[in-house]
Amino acid sequence: MELGIYTFAERTADPHTGKMISAQQRISDLLEEITLADQLGLDVFGIGEHHRPDFVVSSPAVILAAAAVKTKHIKLTSAVTVLSSDDPVRVFQDFASVDLLSSGRAEIMAGRGSFIESFPLFGYDLEDYDTLFSEKLELLLSINNSEKVNWQKSAHRAAINNLGVYPRPFQQELPIWIAVGGTPESAMRAGKMGLPMALAIIGGTPDRFVPFVDLFRETAQKSGHDLSTLGVGINSHAYIADDSQQAADEFFPPYADVMSRIGRERGWQPMTRQQFEYMRAPQGALLVGSPQQVIDKILYEYELFKHSRFLAQMSVGTMPHDKMMHSIELFGNVVAPAVRKAIL
C-alpha cells in the first residue's frame, strides 16, 4: 500500500489565539512538510485546489513544482484538480512540467470539486456541473494518450485540429486518478474508464462505502479492465500524537472550527466533541489518535477495501507547524513501517 499525505493548505485563525499566519508563511511551512514526508520515505503528497480566503493554494501545480525541486522520491499529486472549471490543455501542460521537474513523479487527481467558487470565477454555469467534468476529462485523457490531439467542437470547447500539446511528461503518460465523494455514478464512471479511484471518507463509518468500492471494481471488470492494475485510494482526516488523548485535544479545536464553519454554509449542525469522539472510535471515519490507533484503523480499512493507497489529511484546520511536523514524523517513522509490514 502507498501511504501519504494531502492538504488543502488551510489558512485560518488559530482557534486558541485568534492569530493568523501570513500566506507566505503557510506556503513556506507546507514546503517543509512535503520535504519531511519525502525524507521519511512516504510515498505520496497531494495538494488541493480552492478559491477561498481560508485556503492558500489555487494552483496546485505551482506548489508541486516548487516541491519537485526540493524532494527526491515522493510522488506529487493534486488532491484535487477541479477539472470542470479548468482547461484540460493547460492542466496537462502544468503537470507535464511538474513531471519533468521531478523526473517522473507527477500525478493528477481530477475531480468535479466539492466547493463551487471556481465556477463563477472562471465563467462556468453550475447547471453544467456534470457535463463539464465528463467532457473535460475525455479531452484530458486524449491529450495524455497522444502528442497530437484532434477534438471535435463540443458544448464547452472549441475544436482542436491535429495540434500538438507540449511539453510531454517525463513518464510515458501522467497517472490520472478520479476523485469521488460517494455517488454510485462516480464509481461507475471511474470503473468504465479504467481509471484509479480516490475515495474521500470523512464522515460516518467506512464500512458504508464497501458497496461503493465493490461497484467500482465490478464495473471495471465488466468493462474489460485489469483489476490488478487499477488502484483504489482512501483519503481521510487523520492526526497522530504520542498518545490518544493528546491527539484528540490538539486536533479537535481546529477541526471543529473548520467543519462547523463549512457546515454553516451547507446547512450542517456544528461539530460537537461527542460527534468527534464517535468518529474517532475504532469503526469511525477519523484516524486521530496514537500511532497504534492509526495503524489499527488503516489495517481495519484495508480489510474492508483492499485498497492500494491511503492519504491522510492532517491539517483540516490551522495546526501549529511543529505539531504538524511531529504528526508527519510519527506517520513516517512508526505508522507507515508497521502498516507495510502487516500487509506484505
Give the model's pLDDT for residue 4: 98
Residues 6+ apart with CB under 8 A from 291: 240, 330, 334, 335, 338
Give the model's pLDDT for residue 41: 98
Return d(Cα 140, Cα 176) in angstroms, integer. Answer: 9
Question: Is the backbone of residue 204 left (phi > 0), alpha (psi -120 to 50) or beta?
Answer: left
- Cis omega before residue 53 (within 30°)? no
Give the model's pLDDT for residue 16: 80
Return d(Cα 212, Cα 218) in angstroms, integer. Answer: 10
Q: Name the nearest CA neighbour of 61 among 100, 23, 22, 26.
A: 100
Give the model's pLDDT for residue 17: 86
Residue listed under C-alpha cell 489499527: 296
Q: What is the pLDDT along the chain (344 residues), one digit of tens a residue?
A: 999 999 999 999 888 888 899 999 999 999 999 999 999 999 999 999 999 999 999 999 999 999 999 999 999 999 999 999 999 999 999 999 999 999 999 999 999 878 999 999 999 999 999 999 999 999 999 999 999 999 999 999 999 999 999 999 999 999 999 999 878 999 999 999 999 999 999 999 999 999 999 999 999 999 999 999 899 999 999 999 999 999 999 999 999 999 998 888 888 889 999 999 999 999 999 999 999 999 999 999 999 999 999 999 999 988 999 999 999 999 999 999 999 999 98
Q: Please give the torsion angle defined by the CA atoms of residues 34, 40, 44 and 47, in that order, rounded to the nearest 10 degrees.
A: -20
Q: Map residue 3 onto helix, strand or coil.
A: strand
Question: Is the backbone of residue 85 left (phi > 0), alpha (psi -120 to 50) or beta?
Answer: alpha
- Cis omega before residue 288 (within 30°)? no
Q: Name the architecture of domain 2-343.
A: Alpha-Beta Barrel (3.20)
Output the DSSP codes for 95-126.
HHHHHHHTTS-EEEEEE--S--THHHHTT--G
Question: Is the backbone of residue 289 left (phi > 0), alpha (psi -120 to 50) or beta?
Answer: left
